[in-house]
Structure 1
């Protein structure tokens, strides 16, 4: 497990003891939620948000808001587990669950990590190939090199990696700020879409299911608990409460930014495509359609955000995969080998001639199958006194988390049923 530098650890301890104050000192606690927030702005979200905006204008923005609130709750619980126990979710599972179940959880989580990386890796490659006119395979090679180059910084501790990922999150956010300024957004309709829940037809329900059902990413749950463990020397429950307070603030801010980026994606698609191009559903089609509608600058900004999303989320996915393996098996592999293992499926899929967008959809199906493992494990351990002590979640928070888990898992079931052709009454 990587650590913070001694200097940063010392400054964190000074803040916890009350020796250091001010907003600059509090920024030392920022990082874990920012890294985890990349999972909510990955290329897998692009197609769904584009479909929502193109097909239904601003009317599904409320779904994005609801999905973001559920994400905030579970990322806060993940951070809470790491802060209180000093262990990540995979390690806690290994310590408290039967060995056969641990092996099953590890296998499912490894498959999910590969599916996650497939979507993110392909997203960055698609953006590169469209931006500079490269073949998709060449874009994948460049994405692989860029991802590995960033991963090298992990050896220097958490902070350099958090700063790099934070910069990429900033790039994505600025790109979509520019997009909503370029696109003629109907802000009154957007406000109404956020505040007024509606599902115009069954197809809208399917898209809403896609937005919510793929909200909480398995690797983000594992990773966040690991990024918050042992970040500062904790001398007692008072320090833990302080860390939890700072962590909860960071989760709200980071996930709020991620939510606004997703809303901006929907608003851009609604503004550009809803009138006259409502059938736009693929990333490539969106790019080619944007150029004549909003100009080359808007199309270029769109691809820049996609590349930053693909590269940063691929880095985060590899970090999560490393943490999952180390937590479940107490075994660590060199980062180059981990990177190689997770990117081979992406190269194999494209070499086999599979459509890139279809591959993205398939990866989301795999993630839907894997999601119950970390989500239910997190809810289970967060509620146990022998694991969390006085910091176990209370009845109200437990009820909200249970409702959120049931909602997300039910919608994931609907997604899977729809993908495999199982009829769902009222959906079709």
Structure 2
């Protein structure tokens, strides 16, 4: 680790140095993500574990780019796209983002409710409403400086999936062999599963959220300014972003690895290959891995859902509000940013309402993933273009190494989308 990076870690408690990157990474392992990773582990065993090692550097690259855009310019992604690109590009992408996020919120709330019902019994729909209310109260009525630490604490709930692995017997020799020499297949089901992992892991709402959180933190800190206006603050913040994002994305991929591994060593090995939801994965785990593993897995679904729903709703609110030049920010009071909070509330409530309809949640989640995959590529192209423009980033344009990593992530996502289209048409 370089000397300046080490100084970021040693200038105070590491926990206090973590923020947008850690929260963004943890929110990526939401209940719908848990469902995808469980499906992959149950369906393909150890043969898909390698994907988490490939997605890690790609996530790091593109998320650092999004964070730098927010911190350098003092504006979120949507505000920067609004200033430098055609309105039809902006509004088309934002519309699709809001639709995908709302469907994802519905899936996450439904999974949380189903998991709580498994734990204590009772009405799942009522639990879903309660989760939505709790999420909205925290976002709307608790000031951002006090709300951000709550989100950070919720990231710890994901350690339930680390504990779950150690509650079952794992043949580590076979696991390491499958990672070093993966059994890659070009059969349709395998290709679709790989695309699903990439689509779940690299998602547009994460770009918008981390960029906007950098803006929030800057505005909430006395004396802090966008780096374009205060270049003397750049060294500390750019290194903090780097460390925060490396740790956050590493945490995200570590948890994804353990979820896949749990499903592989339990469900797959016992012939349970068809898992549709995270709650179904938890329920299938109980007779195979025991009560303790079931409880940890189910509790993790609830904990990560409480983190992910605000991130999904918040990223939609940031994107829409910035598009229309509305006042934004969880640091503002309700009446100071009515449009921003209206989007946040409506997206969450629509997510709840979808759970009361006859819409198939599995199919809805599939289409959410499709939309996310389709819009991720143009958003990543725009981000990489903005990050290299001096008129936007000033002297803080991205380095050549970060540029290569970001474009590589974009190319991989584009390939994933093309593969998804080919397998769907086939």
TM-score where L is the length of structure 1: 0.86
Whether 2:28 is the aligned partner of 1:40: answer yes
- In structure 1, the partner of 2:315 is 320
Correspondence for 1:349 among 354, 357, 360 = 354
Post-superposition offset of 1:134: 3.0
Instruction: Indicate whether 1:308 and 2:303 are aligned.
Output: yes
Task: Mark the CA change 1:384 to 1:25 in structure 2 (over 3 Å): closer, same or farther.
Answer: same
Partner of 1:260: 254
From 183, 186, 196, the counterpart of 1:198: 183
Q: 2:284 aligns with which of 281, 284, 289?
A: 289
Shift of 1:74: 0.8
Task: Structure 2: give runs of 5+ residues left out of the alignment.
Answer: 1-6, 327-336
Task: Give the superposition deviation at 1:387.
Answer: 1.0
SS at match of 1:170: helix
Distance 1:225 1:336, change over 3 A: closer
Q: Does structure 2 retain, via aligned residues, the 8 Å contact 1:115–1:364?
A: no
Q: How does 1:55-204 map to 2 (within 5 A)?
A: 55-153=43-141, 155-157=142-144, 159-173=145-159, 175-200=160-185, 202=187, 203-204=189-190
Greater Cα shift, 379-388 or 356-365: 356-365
Match 1:422 to one of 407, 412, 425:
425
Q: Alpha-carbon deviation of 1:335?
A: 6.6
Deviation at 1:364, TM superposition (A): 1.6
- What is the aligned partner in structure 1 of residue 205 from structure 2? 219
| Structure 2: distance between partners of 1:416 and 1:138 | 38
Give yes or no for contact 1:50–1:280 (8 Å, CA) kept in 2.
no
- Corresponding residue for residue 361 of structure 1: 366
- Secondary structure of the structure 1 residue equivalent to 2:202: coil
Tell me the distance in 2 between the aligned counterparts of 1:168 and 1:201: 38
Contact 1:213/1:415 (CA < 8 Å) preserved in 2?
no
Shift of residue 223, structure 1, vs aligned partner: 1.3
Aligned residue in 2 for 1:274 = 268
Asked if the contact 1:122–1:360 (Cα under 8 Å) also holds between the matched residues in 2, the reply is: no
Aligned counterparts of 1:270 and 1:306: Cα–Cα separation in 2: 18
Deviation, 1:80, is: 1.0
Instruction: Give structure 1 stretches of 5+ with no counterpart.
Output: 1-17, 424-428
State the aligned residue count: 401
TM normalised by structure 2 equals 0.86
